[in-house]
Amino acid sequence: MNNIEFINGEKVPLEMHKVRVVQKLKLMPIEDRINAITIAGNNAHLLKNEDVFLDMLTDSGVNAMSDKQVAAMLEADDAYAGSASYYKLEEKIRKIFDMPYFLPAHQGRACEHLLSKVFIKQNDIVPMNYHFTTTKVHVELAGGKVEELITDEGLYVESEVAFKGDMDIIKLKQLVERGNIAFVRVEAGTNLIGGQPVSLRNMRGVSEICKKHGIKTVLDASLLSDNIYFNKIREEQCSNMSITEIILEISKCFDIIYFSARKLTSSRGGGMLFRNEEDYTKVRELIPVYEGFSTYGGISVREIESMAVGIDDLLDEDFVSQGPIFIAEITKLLKEVGVPVVTPAGGLGVHLNCEKFVPHIPKNQYPANSVMSALYIVSGIRGTERGTMSTDKNENGEEVFSKLELLRLALPRRVFTLSQIKYAVDRIIWLYKNSNLIGGLKFIEEPKVLRFFFGKLEPIGDWQQNLKQKFKQDFKNSL
């Protein structure tokens, strides 16, 4: 994707793809939107997709597939064992990452489950730049403890730091001296802190320390596509490297690489690569127990075919740049008018900084989820809370306040058009100007684990009705 210059000097992100299959969308009146979010317990995950106009919940499993991926699905070789589709994928993926061993699993969290089960012992520590929701649960279920080693700058919401996903190397050095480390995990890019990338320099630093201490390094490559783009444009040493070379250099820093194919290859599934035969063999033993045979790993062979083709997109600059360039554009449009957003723009989506968007809502009333609910009401856009609601209570039942209160509006790749983006920007700006009308939420049903998936909340007071009235006053008959 390129920023093309128009005759008036305006720079516009121009799509390097065309749309050939479409899905009809519906934008319901505001009354119906309030009704839908009430039934969903103010939880974006419980909304029906048919009630959503622009689905910015995630990029997981909802990136647009290419024509070549869809065509490949027709060639799938259905076999319990030894499917030709699998061998195609295995060969491709081993070559791209230059790693000798590969295992499929049904999605990213399945990899986390198996890696945690095999490599974590009771009371082990798993240092990482930042946790992801499912990763943390699997580490803890296996008896381990997550230690986040993100640099201080990583948590500055607004900043100029190019690689806010970097791990603090000094803290890592201190921690590994203490022992009990199961493995060190790097997430590139980071999901919960605004899709912020990790530099190759930092990955090399982590690898050097771990090698010295004989500690395994694990890369969560689910969001690697955006990360590679940032390595290429923000990191001097990568600017003259091809994408293939950047991936190979990143790969050299790790013993194990796992990924969600729902994100990385615009298909469904997941997978793990191993440098060492012993690690591979240990994990392979569990594949038939939890996933299926090792030549499908719980993934349909049609999806395996589409993964084998989708992984090629990782090497295509038009593809890897599409998400970040669109995200940078929205971030710029919002920032220009003072809407608080995470900067610099990262991957995955645009992130609203809700601590500033609704400073009057305390953290125990879930400010980011309140903004999620309000934005859905005024626009039909569904985002995801990435803040205190996404952080479970501790073992004493106390609220654990998240370091950041973000509303993530994910930009699945090649899905939305620029006019839809402009609509989103317009409604976010309107909401920000009327943010004093947004109120807090409280749980009425609260699961103990990963509460953000199934928990239900209700508004504190009647702020949603007040918001509707102001919307109708300003937009009259417009949806």
Q: What residues are labeled active site?
A: 80, 132-133, 220, 263, 386, 452
| Closer residue to ligand PLP in complex, CB, 107/321 | 107
Q: Which stretch binds ligand PLP (CB under 6 A): 69-77, 105-113, 199-207, 286-294?
A: 105-113
By the 10 Å C-beta count (0-12 exposed, 13-18 middle, 19+ buried), 171 is classed as middle
Residue 440: CB minimum distance to ligand PLP, A:
27
Asked if 227 interacts with ligand PLP (CB under 6 A), we say no
Helix, strand or coil for residue 445?
Answer: strand
Interface map 136-175 toward ligand PLP (x if CB under 6 A): ----------------------------------------
Both structure tokens of 211: 């090698």
Q: E strands within 360-404?
A: 381-382, 384-386
Q: Count Cβ atoms below 10 Å from residue 78 Cβ, excluding itself.
A: 11
Sign of CA dihedral 103, 105, 109, 115: negative
Both structure tokens of 420: 């839809």
Asked if 223 interacts with ligand PLP (CB under 6 A), we say yes
| Closer residue to ligand PLP in complex, CB, 107/251 | 107
Q: Which residues between 121 and 140 bind ligand PLP (CB under 6 A)?
A: 132, 134
- Interacting residue with ligand PLP among 187, 291, 313, 405 (CB under 6 A): 187
Number of residues counted as binding ligand PLP (CB under 6 A): 14
Rounded to whole angstroms, the Cα distance separating 184 from 147 reads 10
| Closer residue to ligand PLP in complex, CB, 30/114 | 114
Give the closest residue to 340 by CA, choosing from 427, 269, 429. Answer: 429
Asked if 191 interacts with ligand PLP (CB under 6 A), we say yes
Q: Which stretch binds ligand PLP (CB under 6 A): 219-227, 230-238, 356-364, 427-435?
A: 219-227
Strand partners, 129: none
Q: Which stretch binds ligand PLP (CB under 6 A): 217-225, 238-246, 247-255, 364-372?
A: 217-225
Rounded to whole angstroms, the Cα distance separating 215 from 175 reads 12
| Closer residue to ligand PLP in complex, CB, 149/333 | 149
- Interacting residue with ligand PLP among 194, 270, 297, 367 (CB under 6 A): 270
Residue 223: CB minimum distance to ligand PLP, A:
5
Residue 338: CB minimum distance to ligand PLP, A:
29
Asked if 188 interacts with ligand PLP (CB under 6 A), we say no
Residue 438: CB minimum distance to ligand PLP, A:
26
Q: What are the distances in angstroms from CA 371 to CA 28, 57, 378, 431? A: 19, 13, 10, 9
Asked if 107 interacts with ligand PLP (CB under 6 A), we say yes
Phi, psi of 109 (to 5 degrees): -70, -25
Asked if 220 interacts with ligand PLP (CB under 6 A), we say yes
Strands 270-274 and 406-410, sheet pairing: unpaired
| Closer residue to ligand PLP in complex, CB, 268/302 | 268
Q: Which stretch binds ligand PLP (CB under 6 A): 103-111, 204-212, 237-245, 433-441?
A: 103-111
Q: What are the distances in angstroms from CA 25 to CA 84, 186, 205? A: 37, 37, 47
- Interacting residue with ligand PLP among 66, 116, 151, 222 (CB under 6 A): 222
| Closer residue to ligand PLP in complex, CB, 13/412 | 412
Residue 78: CB minimum distance to ligand PLP, A:
23
DSSP string over 204-272: HHHHHHHHHHT--EEEE-TTHHHHHHHHHHH-GGGTTS-HHHHHHHHHHT-SEEEEEHHHHTSSS-EEE
- Interacting residue with ligand PLP among 60, 227, 343, 365 (CB under 6 A): 60
Rounded to whole angstroms, the Cα distance separating 209 from 58 reads 34
| Closer residue to ligand PLP in complex, CB, 127/340 | 127
Helix, strand or coil for residue 183?
Answer: coil
Asked if 262 interacts with ligand PLP (CB under 6 A), we say yes
Residue 270: CB minimum distance to ligand PLP, A:
5
Q: Which stretch binds ligand PLP (CB under 6 A): 107-115, 169-177, 302-310, 405-413?
A: 107-115
| Alpha carbon 401 to its chain's center | 20
Q: Which stretch binds ligand PLP (CB under 6 A): 31-39, 160-168, 215-223, 466-474?
A: 215-223
Which letter does DSSP use for residue 60 in this model? Answer: T
Which letter does DSSP use for residue 276 in this model? Answer: S
Q: Which stretch binds ligand PLP (CB under 6 A): 5-13, 101-109, 327-335, 393-401?
A: 101-109
Per the rule left: phi > 0, alpha: psi between -120 and 50, beta: everything else, 302 is alpha
Q: What are the distances in angstroms from CA 334 to CA 324, 359, 372? A: 15, 18, 16
- Helix (H) / strand (E) element for 69: namely helix 67-73
Asked if 275 interacts with ligand PLP (CB under 6 A), we say no
Residues of this chain that interact with ligand PLP (CB under 6 A) are 60, 107-109, 132, 134, 187, 191, 220, 222-223, 260, 262, 270
